[in-house]
Amino acid sequence: MLRVLIGWMLAAAAALGQTPESFFRRGGANFRDTAPEQRLYWRPHIEHSYRRILEAADLAETKGIAIVLGSGVATEIPLAELARRFDRLLLVDMDGASMLESLDQVPPELRSKIELRVMDVTSFVSTLMERLRDAVDASFTAAEAFRRYQAIFDSLAAGTPVILPPADLVISSLLLSEIPRYPFGYANRLVQDRFNSPLDSWDGFDRAFAKLVSVSIEDHGRLLSTLVRPAGVVYYGDTLMRGPVYSQVSNETRSTVEKAVLFDFQRLGLAASLSEVGPAINRLCQAEHRIDTEIEAFERLLAAYRKGGGSAFEPLLPVADIVHQFEQQNFRVHGTPQSWWWLSYPCAIAREPGAFFVNSWILRRGAR
């Protein structure tokens, strides 16, 4: 399962640039170039995210500074409302162009309250990517590069959190799951270009990625703990799994899922009988139905696959490790964590993974 997931990550990174800076910029550009018709399916995700972030904002006892980590184009961040509620709003990301574009959603009279800061929000990613580039530059074969990679990942550790002002609200949305992707995708691009050897041919591949995920979780937890004021609030939301992965789904499971969604597909006018459910799924995202109808159909389909067993979805982050990190940093969860589907690539869902399952937590300081 891990190699299927990493294969997606490396494919997504294939066209990115050779320097760490251009790598981040190109990633942001790809996201900004998402077709408008595809973004229509993101509406429930954006609405859920807005509601949860503003719920966290309401809990902040003072409204001095709000920080959005890895803000990017801030599609799911209610920037205008945050700018109204807080004296100062600080956006932090490696991709300055995406942050500039995000200001389009903010009325001109509020933009003076917003500061953009182009920087790495981790203690290690930029340095790691430079070390990976140096390792490949110093190598004569892929095997030598992989040996150098192994030494780099074996010694990888979270460092001192970056310096940012203490905040009343800290927002981390869809960020942590992306942190391991960039250096690993970059590592692949380097050896692919230099030696025509993909990263997943390396026998240390799985071990290195597991280490990278572990360090990313620890590093991010430390950062959140460092930034939030004693009476402040953290919003943490992330994509924890992706699917459906049809190559991992049996015909029996598919049949069970189609039976499970039959009533809803009938109610939505998509299928009259069980034999019509499969063809109806394949016709979604073909401009035959209202967007709201298709969104509900996709959500019912994904819920049925999730209920039918975890094999239909690839885990992106280990939830237990994240919760443990919250506890290590003396956070307590406010209320009940909430989750929803993000139909990121809706037209792909009938054939390949195109949806993400998002979980969200609101965190406050707690007594040990």
Q: Domain segments of the chain: what residues?
A: 2-41+60-238+314-337, 246-307
Are the beta carbons of 353 and 242 closer than 8 angstroms?
A: yes
pLDDT reading at 286 higher than 70? yes
Residue 45 pLDDT greater than 50, yes or no: yes
- Sign for the pseudo-dihedral over CA of 326, 329, 330, 334: negative
Share above pLDDT 90 across residues of the chain, in percent, rounded to a whole number: 81
Given a cut of 60, whether residue 8 has pLDDT beyond it is: no
Q: What is the pLDDT of residue 248?
A: 86
Q: What is the pLDDT of residue 137?
A: 95
Please state the rounded mean pLDDT for residues 313-337.
Answer: 95
Q: Which residue has the higher pLDDT, 36 or 167?
A: 167
Would the pLDDT of 13 be above 90? no
In the structure encoding, which two tokens stand for residue 84, read together?
């109204």
Residue 128: is its pLDDT beyond 50? Answer: yes
Query: What integer is the mean pLDDT of 70-89?
Result: 96
- Count the Cβ atoms, other than its own, within 10 Å of residue 354: 22
Residue 265 CB neighbour total at 10 angstroms: 22
Joined together, the tokens standing for residue 295 give 């969104």
Q: Residue 310 — very low, low, confident or very high, per pLDDT cuts 50/70/90?
A: low
Residue 139, both tokens: 């190598």
Q: For residue 61, is pLDDT > 70?
A: yes
Identify the band that residue 287 occupies on the pLDDT scale cut at 50, 70 and 90: confident
Angle, vertex CA 229, rays to CA 228 and CA 231, nearest 5: 115
How many angstroms separate the CA atoms of 132 and 173, rounded? Answer: 27
Rounded to an integer, what distance in angstroms lies between the CA atom of residue 207 and that of residue 204?
5
What's the confidence (pLDDT) of residue 87? 98
Q: Which residues pair with 360 in a beta bridge?
A: 237, 338
Reported as type and span, the H/E element at residue 238 is strand 228-243
DSSP, collapsed to helix, strand or coil, labels residue 359 as: strand
What single-letter DSSP state applies at residue 160? P
Q: Give the CB-side neighbour count of residue 107, counting CA atoms within 13 A.
A: 7
Residue 308 is predicted with a pLDDT of: 80
Q: Which of 62-66, 188-192, 224-228, 363-367 has the least mean pLDDT?
A: 363-367
Q: Are 79 and 114 in contact (CB under 8 A)?
A: yes
Kindly indicate the confidence band of residue 34, based on its pLDDT and cuts at 50, 70 and 90.
low
Confidence of residue 1 (pLDDT cuts 50, 70, 90): very low
CA 158 to mean position of chain CA atoms = 20
Predicted confidence (pLDDT) at residue 21 exceeds the cutoff of 80: no
To 5 degrees, how large is the angle CA 309–CA 313–CA 319?
A: 95
Residues near 228 by beta carbon (within 8 Å), at least 6 away in sequence: 166, 167, 168, 169, 170, 234, 363, 365
Helix pair angle (2-13, 181-195), 10° resolution: 70
Across all residues in the chain, what is the average pLDDT? 90
Task: Encode pLDDT of 212-230 as tens digits.
Answer: 999 999 999 999 999 999 9
Please tell me the distance from the alpha carbon of residue 260 to that of residue 331, in angstroms, as a whole number.
39
**pLDDT band per the 50, 70, 90 thresholds, residue 203:** very high
Asked whether the beta carbons of 337 and 361 are under 8 A apart, the reply is yes
Q: Is the model's pLDDT at 247 over the cut of 90? A: no
* pLDDT beyond 90 at 15: no
Domain 2-41+60-238+314-337 part of CATH 2.60.40: no
Per-residue confidence (pLDDT) for residue 367, from 0 to 100: 52
Binned at pLDDT 50, 70 and 90, residue 22 comes out as low
Written as one letter, the residue type at 204 is: G
Q: What's the predicted TM-score (pTM) here?
A: 0.90
pLDDT higher than threshold 50 for residue 12: no
Per-residue pLDDT, averaged over 148-158, amounts to: 97
Q: DSSP letter at 115?
A: E
Q: Would the pLDDT of 5 be above 80?
A: no
Query: Could you give the angle at the alpha carbon of 98 between the alpha carbons of 10 and 319, nearest 5°?
Result: 50
